[in-house]
Amino acid sequence: MRCGFCGYEFKEEEGIKGCSNCPMGSGCTRVKCPRCNYEIPKEPLWIKKLKRLFERK
Amino acid sequence: MALFRKRRRRGSCHAPVAEGVGGAKKVVLVGNPNVGKSVLFNALTGAYVTVSNYPGTSVEVARGAAEIAGERFEIIDTPGMYSLLPITEEERVARRILLEDAPDMVIHVVDARNLERMLAMTIQLLEAGLPVILVVNIMDEAERLGIRIDIPLLSTRLGIPVVGAAIAKKRGLSELQEIISGYRCSAYPVPEYSRRLENDIAEITALFQSRFSLSPKAVALLLLQRDEDMTARVQAREGKGFVALEAKIREKIYARRESFHLDLSLERRKIAEKLLAGVFRVPDKRKTTFGEKLSRWAVRPLTGVPLLLIVLYYGLYQFVGVFGAGTLVDLLEKRLFEGRFNPWISDIVKGAVPWPVIQELFVGEYGVITLGLRYAIGIILPIVSTFFLFFSILEDSGYFPRLALLVDRLFKKIGLSGRAVIPMVLGFGCDTMATMVTRTLETVRERIIATLLLSLAIPCSAQLGVIMALLSQSRGALLVWFICLLLIFLAVGLLAARVIPGETPMFYMELPPMRLPQLSNILTKTYSRMQWYFLEILPLFILASILLWIGKITHGFEKLSDWVQPVMAALGLPREAAVAFIFGFFRRDYGAAGLYDLQTSGLLNPRQVTVAAVTLTLFIPCIAQFLIIKKERGTWVAVAIGLFVSLLAFGSGYLLNQFLLTTGIL
């Protein structure tokens, strides 16, 4: 993933997820940049699968 | 002034505190992310690799063994880092390895294409007294772009071994292996800063009584940058002597509070520029790209402010306001919902359900389908879709960090820094989540001011879209609304900065390159944001409709409207406007949609719609935002913000109404 604010590149797993105070934290679809905390939406699963399909071809 | 001064190393470069596996020399790879560290690690180590979490963290560190010229080395691949002053957990781990593993060699891997930017960290590593070898990687790509780098000259100027490499193609690998196997280090070059900075450093280092794993100069600079980890380490070593040291550091920090980070990075950049003079050559034909020009324009106030106004006019006003909230809402809400869907579904429900009360729940004035679903799909969805599309374009282009730099000076006056642009920008998407993001701001004071301003003057995307669509119909109304909001934002910010005690925050960030937004990124981000927004608002809109229906059948809603009526009268608004304000407390966007209904019913003239828009924008945060403020800042702060914002919203609305009546502007 590439942070939309500071440009830091990181893996989705490295991002800060599930803010403990947030009532909607469990199903959150956003990831925070570990460098600047800017919030970035996660890539939906079906888009990831679609990309992988095209990469294979 | 000499760029570097040679210092004799205390002890030997090859006497590490913690020895490598089996007495092997330790080689640590450091550098920015995506410069080829891991490729170099794999090239040096082959299959002998272990990956484990760094103790006490979830950050993975790879360690491997390499045999070079018959000698065994332990190679450590650190997480990406931009500076010796860590911000992220990864950077903290990388620095801890440098501090605690006492490496025999530190290989700094840099991208040849961005040599000037990355050399700042080489300077930091050198001033820390670390035994550095510089690998200028991705030379092949740099050469393809016509960039020429005089590696021997750079090595002479830095006073350390430098290798030009393209590790992915094994270029420079054997040269690096030779350097590693024959590495000897007796003196290290130390960068020289301006006289003022050197004096500050000298005053601090003169108070050190202990030795540290980094040079005194590097430790002093980290202390001046308020590095908490380094402060704790120094405190532990210095014991009672830390009191005098702390007082001196405070004195220096206070004297240079406005711009220390910026000054230091500018000095390092100057050193890098001088080092690269005649070393780094770009082709003569290379012109400044449009992206680079745009980047420069965006951060300079003289060009940045007009550029911002252009972005706001075409992006927010024309695209989100006129197209999204005007054309698309007209198509979906008026033609599809009001024209076809609502009459059709009303007939079906009324035919299937004999009880009028239940009919009201689904297809009545505040019906789940005729109001909740219509608001969500007919009004809010097209507005947030266009907003998120516009937002994703700006985000992907790299405009936001430039906006942060542009407003940094102004924000400092209101007790914030450029960093506060993150929650402010996110607030246009949703103020509730933006309130949560305020926790990342540096000081408590900054967090409270940002929370207050978000509650007060930052409308969410849907509210903004509706307001722009409504106000664009009367000449000057949008301008009046904008001026009111801007003045209140600045006045409250200035006042809060004076009233709330605390330090002025500092802000410095490295700008990522500006680039042409990629269609796939824009569409993916817009889709993800829309999906999240829609899934969040739909149940809440339905719940709000049910509550309003309960209020209607129990006549509680009418009583509430009656209770609010005197306030509406003071604002010069009709009784029906109370509905929009009650809606607004459920959600800001729901309130905006209520305002849209009033306007389309012809109940508001231009003056009234402007007063209602200003008051509703400033109006108390919605329930979700209020609860988050309470959690983040505590009950008292939440109640104080709620009361202050409500009084200010209605007070401003009243004054604006009087002003407009007197002047007859609208």
Chain B environment of A29 (Cβ under 8 Å): 528, 531-532
Determine phi and psi for B29, rounding to 5 degrees. Answer: -95, 125
Domain count, chain A: 1
* DSSP symbol at A44: P
Give me the CATH number covering residue B227: 1.10.287.1770
Please state whether beta strands B105-111 and B132-137 pair in parallel, antiparallel, or not at all (unpaired).
parallel
Count of other CB atoms within 10 angstroms of residue B627: 16
Q: Which of B59, B88, B518, B523 to mutate to test the interface with A (most CBs of A within 10 A)?
A: B88
Q: Is B296 a domain residue?
A: no
Q: Is the ipTM of this complex over 0.90?
A: no
Structural domain includes residue A3: no
Domain that holds residue A17: 12-56
**Rounded CA separation B490/B411 (Å):** 9
Residue range B448-506, pLDDT digits in tens = 899 999 988 898 887 888 888 788 878 789 899 999 999 999 999 999 988 888 777 77
pLDDT of residue B486: 92
Position B13 confidence tier, pLDDT thresholds 50, 70, 90: very low
On whether residue A36 sits in a domain, the answer given is yes
> A7–B34: do the CB atoms touch at under 8 Å?
no
Domain shared by B513 and B592, yes or no: yes
Is A6 part of any domain?
A: no
**Which residues lie below 8 Å from residue B578, measured CB to CB, with a gap of 6+?**
B560, B561, B564, B565, B567, B568
In a domain, B210, yes or no: yes
Question: Chain A partners of B527 at a C-beta cutoff of 8 Å?
Answer: 44, 47
Same domain, B493 and B430: yes
Q: How many interchain CB pairs under 8 A, A with B?
A: 73
In the numeric block, the tokens 């934002």 are attached to B489
Residue B499: CB atoms within 10 A of its CB come to 10
Using the structure block, give the residue that is written with the tokens 């516009």: B390
Please indicate, yes or no, if residue B86 is contained in any of the structural domains: yes
Q: What length is written for chain A? A: 57
Q: Calculate the average pLDDT of chain B.
A: 86
> With an 8 Å Cβ cutoff, are B525 and A41 in contact?
yes
Which residue do the tokens 């000897």 mark?
A: B184
Which among B448, B434, B453 has a CA at the least distance from the CA of B493?
A: B453
pTM, rounded to two decimals: 0.68
Residues B272 and B363 reside in one and the same domain: no
Test B525 with A4 for CB contact under 8 angstroms: yes
Which CATH number goes with the domain that contains B174?
3.40.50.300
Domain assignment of residue B289, yes or no = no
Is residue B267 assigned to a domain? yes
Q: Is B291 within the bounds of a domain?
A: no
Point out the domain boundary residue: B164, B191, B218.
B191
Number of domains in chain B: 3
Same domain, B472 and B613: yes
- Chain segment B232-287, per-residue pLDDT in tens: 999 998 888 888 888 998 888 888 766 677 788 888 888 999 999 989 988 776 66
Confidence of residue B162 (pLDDT cuts 50, 70, 90): very high
Give the pair of three-digit tokens for residue B364.
């009545």
Q: What distance in Å separates the CA atoms of residue B577 and residue B604, rounded to the nearest whole number? A: 9
Q: Which one of A24, A35, A46, A49 would you mutate to disrupt binding with B, by most B Cβ within 10 Å of its Cβ?
A: A35
- Retrieve residue B593's tokens: 């949609």
Q: In A, which residues are within 8 Å of B426 by CB distance?
A: 38-39
Residue B430's pLDDT band, with cuts at 50, 70 and 90, is: confident
> From the CA atom positions of chain B, what is the Rg in Å?
31
User: Minimal Cα–Cα distance from B401 to chain A, Å?
Assistant: 6
- Return the residue of B nearest to A19 by Cα: B436
Contacts of B89 in chain A (CB under 8 A): 34
Note whether B22 and B169 are same-domain residues. Answer: yes
Confirm whether A5 is domain-assigned: no
A47 within a domain of the structure (yes/no):
yes
Do the domain assignments include residue B365?
Answer: yes
Helix residue ranges, H only, B502-622: 519-553, 556-570, 577-586, 588-600, 606-618
Residues B151 and B199 in one domain: no
Chain B residues near any Cβ of chain A (below 8 Å): 33-34, 87-90, 395-396, 398, 400-401, 404, 419, 422, 426, 433, 436-437, 440, 509-510, 512-513, 524-525, 527-529, 531-532, 536, 624, 627-628, 631-632
Question: Do residues B90 and B99 make contact, with C-beta atoms less than 8 angstroms apart?
Answer: no
Q: Helix B301-311 and helix B399-413: axis angle, to 10°?
A: 110
Structure tokens at B557: 């809603």
Instruction: Verify that B501 and B423 share a domain, yes or no.
Output: yes
Decide if B422 and A19 are in contact by the 8 Å CB cutoff. no
Judge if B77 and B210 occupy the same domain.
no
Domain for residue B288, yes or no?
A: no
* Ranges of H-type helices in B86-227: 89-100, 115-127, 139-144, 151-158, 173-181, 195-205, 216-224
Residue span of the structural domain in which B563 resides: 301-663
Same domain as B309, residue B162: no
Distance separating alpha carbons of residues B141 and A34, to the nearest angstrom: 29
Q: Do residues B114 and B280 touch, judged by C-beta distance below 8 A?
A: no
Do B253 and B180 lie in one domain? The reply is no
| Residue A16 near chain B (CB below 8 Å) | no
Per-residue model confidence as pLDDT tens digits over B571-613 = 999 988 888 888 787 777 778 888 888 888 888 899 999 999 9
Given a contact cutoff of 8 angstroms between Cβ atoms, the answer to whether B456 and B488 are in contact is yes
φ/ψ (deg, to 5) at A31 = -125, 140
Residue A4 pLDDT exceeds 70 = yes
Question: Same domain for B173 and B206?
Answer: no
> Is the residue at A28 inside a domain?
yes
Can you name the residues that pair with B171 across neighbouring β-strands?
Answer: B166
Residue B164 and residue B309 in one domain: no
Position B191: which residue type? Answer: P
Spatial distance between the Cα atoms of B207 and B8, rounded to a whole number of angstroms:
21
Nearest CA in chain B to A23: B628
A43 touches chain B (CB under 8 A): yes
The verdict on residue A2 lying in a domain is no
Listed by number, the residues of chain A in 17-36 with a beta carbon closer than 8 Å to a beta carbon of chain B are 19, 21-24, 29-30, 34-36
